[in-house]
Amino acid sequence: MEEVAPQVLGRLEELGPAVSLDLNLSVEAYFDTLTTLIDRFCNKKQLTCIYISVTVPASTIKAALGSLEIATDRLRFVDCISFATMECAPSDDAQTVFVESPAMLEYIVLKVEYLFRKGKGERFMVILDSVNSLAAHNEVRMLYEFMQVLMASVKSRGAYPVLLSIGEQMKPEVHEMLQLVCDQIITLK
């Protein structure tokens, strides 16, 4: 497997902000991709990273990054999974806002908008982790409409929109939908 970081960083630099990018990755490349995006891109460029977590609770991601001594102070989470598992503790973590269910797509849009407003004047990257998990909770037609609204909102803020998808686990109709809503799809080798 080629190194993930040069592929991801090279493409982000080339595309710039307001271009929706789907990173189609393998399970093995997942964590490397994440650390590249957060540490080597957002932290280096001083971007605030809005991380929409649908697969893994925000606390787990934060702890994993912390164990690698990656700074997480620029991270803001929209955690769509902890409420469903009753593991959310809103008062404990000022960096995280919760959505009650990954099926409540409008609230994801609203929480992202809220974090944009809270960080007035900051520059952003928005990571959606992952398309596969959202597709497990939502019909493709609904997901398509959601993606269009979310991407329009993120692009209008001049942020970097990045979607993570695991190609080997994806249904063909979800892949088709991604081709419609994304400006670029990169398969990480």
Measured from the CB atom, is 29 or 115 closer to other proteins? 115
Measured from the CB atom, is 141 or 189 closer to other proteins? 141
Q: Which tokens hold the place of 137?
A: 């909770």
Measured from the CB atom, is 44 or 141 closer to other proteins? 141
Structure letter (DSSP) for residue 55: S
Q: Which of 120, 108, 127 is nearest to 157 (CA)?
A: 120
d(C-alpha 94, C-alpha 104), whole Å: 21
Q: Does 113 bind other proteins (CB under 8 A)?
A: yes
Q: Shortest distance, CB of residue 130 to other proteins, whole angstroms?
A: 19
Q: Does 110 bind other proteins (CB under 8 A)?
A: yes
Q: Which tokens hold the place of 2?
A: 């080629």
Give the one residue of 44, 45, 141, 171 binding other proteins; rule: CB under 8 A: 141
Measured from the CB atom, is 32 or 145 closer to other proteins? 145
Q: Which of 157, 61, 60 is nearest to 109 (CA)?
A: 157
Decide: helix, strand or coil at residue 126.
Answer: strand
Q: Does 84 bind other proteins (CB under 8 A)?
A: no
Q: Which tokens hold the place of 186?
A: 């990169």
Would residue 35 be called left, alpha or beta, if left means φ above 0 and alpha means ψ between -120 and 50 degrees? alpha
# of chain residues touching other proteins (CB under 8 A): 20
Q: Does 107 bind other proteins (CB under 8 A)?
A: yes
Which residues contribute to the site for other proteins (CB under 8 A)? 100-101, 103-107, 109-111, 113-114, 117-118, 139, 141-142, 145-146, 149
